[in-house]
Every structure is written in structure tokens, then in C-alpha cells.
Amino acid sequence: MTRTAPQQWMIEQHRLGHSLCLILDSEGELNTRRLLSGSQDAGQYCSVYSETPVSDLADAGPFMFLIDNPEDGQLNELLKAPERNWGWLASVAPEAGLNELVRHWRERLIVGTRPHQALYRFHDNRVLTRALMHLSTGAIPGYLGPIISACYWQGQHWKTLSNPSPGDHPVPESPAWWNVPAEGDQSAYLRKVNARRYLLAEHLDAYAQMAEQQDPGLWLNAQLALADAWGWQSSEQLEFLLAQSLKETDGTLAERWQAHPEETPAAHFQRVYKATQFWQGDASQ
């Protein structure tokens, strides 16, 4: 049987005595996550977002799994479809194991400084690829930490990279990976994650009620598309649109709020915002 490049890499890493880990995009690969978690002990896998400030997203965030058998057939579907960008593979020293790997990435989950913080999508092989392309050799140990070797799909073929100094490295004061150019797909993902966090934190009941009537992911995509069409990009504008859209989930709000000809996004927002304040204030009296 012909082995794929990642299978060969796993066999070699296992032969060297290293532990194998799967870093999985849980949101995009729920079936695989359920399959693996259902066949492993609780200590063999972990939700990275749990026990962090973004624990409300734990179920949709990345999961890590220890892989005992490098020829585990449960991974075949993933390895044959790398274009799904499901994540990547890593090897670590047995004494580091899963706990150290999870702790390492939890310390690197947030990029930027307040109020411009965002979640770092480290589990996306495209994000990993861009980082490893731009980072200097000296910056790689602080980025990969306990990882001895990484195996990932870089868009056209499988690639492996060895960490020159695996171990416990502190997060640098100004991490070099913060400055790696982000592609549109990552920016859009981070925007959606932050929008969902806002809804869960500030409008949980209304958001849950809406989710009972329609797909919450499709609904949120529609609101973000509307914000793009109107040029409402600031946090204030987007939060206002989301909050008001929850009050009218049938789409009529978007029809009433259309921009006037030659109206700038800022003027459009101010007009709608003031009108909403007036009518909602009048209705409460």
C-alpha cells in the first residue's frame, strides 16, 4: 500500500520516539472530531479554547488529539483531502505531550493589543504556512514551542519543518507572527468570531431565540455581508447592526435602512442610528 507523505512523516516521527498530535479545525470537521473523541480516552484530546477567556467558543474552536498509531485509518479521510484545510500535524517529546502543546498555544491565542485584539487562528494550516514563510529561523522556536516537527499542507503539496530549538519558550514582547500579512479569509474569520462573541456576551437570549428559527451561521453571514455592502466596518457600527437585526430577523430592517444616493457610510450610519434612537425612545414613553 502506497503511503501518503504525512503518513510517512508520522511513521518516521513515531520511530524516533516522538508523540504525534493532530491539530484539528473542529468547526469545519465535526464528524472527524466526534469519531476521534469517541474512540479515545479523555486525556488523549483537548479543546484548546476551554479554560481560556474564549471558552464560550470551545465547542467550535480547535481540538488537539494524540495519535498513538501513525497508520490509524481514522485519519485517512483527512489525509486524502488536504484542500479542506482541516489543520495540521505535529510531533512533540513524550514528556511534553498534549498538555504542554495546548498550554503553548493558549498563551498565543490573542493577537494585538486592546481594543484591537483578535483570536489567532493557529490551527489553520494556511495561517501556519504564512507564518513559517515569514518568520526568521530565530523566531521559530518561540512560535512552535514544544513542537519538534510540523507537517502541513501548504496549498500545493505537503511540507515538513523541524523546530531548531523545541522547548518551553515565553511569548515574545512583540511576537513576530503578529506582523505576518493576513489574507482575506483569515480576516473574515476573525471578524465573524468576534461578532459571535459579542452576540453571546451581550444578546444571548435573543441570539438563541433567533437560532431556533433559522441557521445562526447563515444569519450572521447575511448581517456581515450587509455591513460590507454599507461600508459599516467599525465595531460600533457592526454591533449596532447585529443588535437591531436580532429585533427584526425577517430582513425588513435591511430594506428600510438602505443608504441614500451619494450618502457616505458614516452619514448613513448616523442617520439610521439617530432615527432608531428616536423611535425606540418614543416607543418606551
- Regarding whether 70 and 158 lie in a shared domain, the answer is yes
**Cα-flanking dihedrals φ and ψ of residue 45, to 5°?**
-150, 165
**Domain count for the chain:** 2
Q: Is residue 194 part of a domain?
A: no
In a domain, 191, yes or no: no
Shared domain for 223 and 269, answered yes or no, is yes
207 contact partners, CB below 8 Å, separation of at least 6: 199, 200, 216, 246
Looking at residue 37, what is its pLDDT? 87
Give yes or no: residues 69 and 160 share one domain. Answer: yes
Do residues 208 and 199 lie in contact, with contact meaning Cβ atoms separated by under 8 Å? Answer: no
Same domain, 112 and 172: yes
Residues 33 and 158 in one domain: yes
Domain that holds residue 78: 5-181
Structural domain contains residue 215: yes
Pick the closest to residue 63 from 100, 25, 20 (CA basis): 25
For residue 229, tell me if it sits in a domain.
yes
Q: What's the predicted TM-score (pTM) here? A: 0.67
243 and 124 part of one domain: no
Chain center to CA of 234: 21
Asked whether residue 64 is assigned to any structural domain, the reply reads yes
Strands (DSSP E) along 118-198, which ranges? 118-119, 147-153, 158-162
Residues 110 and 42 in one domain: yes
d(CA 90, CA 147): 6
Question: Are 33 and 166 part of one and the same domain?
Answer: yes
Whether 197 is covered by a domain: the verdict is no
My answer on whether 138 and 40 are in the same domain is: yes
Q: Is residue 193 part of a domain?
A: no
pLDDT at 56: 86
Angle, CA of 9, 163 and 19, to the nearest 5°: 50
Task: Using CB atoms within 10 Å of the CB of residue 244, give its burial: 0 to 12 exposed, 13 to 18 middle, 19+ buried.
Answer: middle
What's the pLDDT at 186?
Answer: 61
71 in a structural domain: yes
* Alpha-carbon distance values, 55 to 58, 122, 222, 271 (Å): 5, 16, 25, 37
Same-domain status, 37 and 132: yes
**Given this model, what pLDDT does residue 143 score?**
97
Do 80 and 215 fall within a single domain?
no
Q: Are residues 172 and 211 in the same domain?
A: no
Q: What is the pLDDT of residue 284?
A: 40
Cell 516537527 belongs to 149
Tens digit of each residue's pLDDT, the chain (285 residues): 567 899 999 999 999 999 999 999 987 788 889 888 887 787 899 999 999 988 888 888 899 999 988 887 788 889 999 999 999 999 999 999 899 999 999 999 988 776 667 888 899 999 999 999 999 999 999 999 999 999 999 988 999 999 999 999 999 988 999 888 766 556 677 788 889 889 998 999 999 999 888 888 889 988 998 998 899 988 899 999 999 999 887 767 777 898 888 889 999 999 999 988 887 765 443
